[in-house]
Structure 1
């Protein structure tokens, strides 16, 4: 059985899960808060499917920093959003993302979780250090977007 590598970050956001779901499940909305938006001003994007629905997807291709790949929504429910993420460049990898939405009074605890099978490169690359800071930046930006009237 293959061991998985998990990266996870959390942010408390003053919004309900219902208010947060569209920001996460509708992939075109990511341009407002994704931590990777400023990596390539000429990033090429292609969306397909009904935004926010299971099966909708997003493909991108950019410079060396942005790389290329695709995301596909695999689950949308009151508890969060599931996403299958494939990178094709700068390296190939297949990952499962989950945004867990936990109500906390008048706010929501948002957990951004990535799980990927341990591969040879993950023995030499600390994925938590590689993407953990990006998750933190993205959650802070999502908080700004969701909390701005």
Structure 2
């Protein structure tokens, strides 16, 4: 009996490893929203990391998270570190590229609950009197990431948070604009 259980367990582990090995090497999550303001109005909300708390979905998941800032307040080199509950984890982000009213790119380093380094970016495109803001995150799927993708859908989970953040940002910039 014990031998049968052990064989079934080994086969199950091998199946999980085989399925994980077939998962994509990279991932990307992208969401967009149209906002009734010019690109420069939205750009300021993102380029200044100290403004993120007003619209970030993660700020609402842990209002007691400890945030710290370094470097310039906005633009290339601006950095924010956070440590919070198990819903927000621990990590840092640094603006590595900032082109006014066009693109902001971040290096994201997650420490908890899993170590990972990814890239996030916001792009801005004028459409009449509106700005279409596109928020993306992409990176490489290490083997643990591939295994995790078998049990949870990163696009739905993170994408849903991006949608909440874009909605909150839209409310802020349109109310002020």
Bucket of the pairwise TM-score, normalised by the shorter protein: over 0.9
The residue aligned with 2:27 is 5
The residue aligned with 2:87 is 65
Deviation at 1:148, TM superposition (A): 0.4
**Deviating 4+ runs (over 4 angstroms):** none
In the alignment, the residues of structure 2 paired with residue 32 and residue 80 of structure 1 have an alpha-carbon distance, to the nearest angstrom, of 20
The residue aligned with 1:80 is 103
Structure having the higher strand fraction is 1
TM-score by length of 1: 0.94
Structure having the higher helix fraction is 2
- Which of structures 1 and 2 has the bigger CA Rg? 2
In the alignment, the residues of structure 1 paired with residue 92 and residue 135 of structure 2 have an alpha-carbon distance, to the nearest angstrom, of 18
Deviation at 1:49, TM superposition (A): 1.4
Q: Which runs of 5+ in 1 are unaligned?
A: none
State the number of aligned residues: 148
Root-mean-square deviation (Å): 1.3
Deviation at 1:38, TM superposition (A): 1.5
In the alignment, the residues of structure 2 paired with residue 121 and residue 13 of structure 1 have an alpha-carbon distance, to the nearest angstrom, of 37
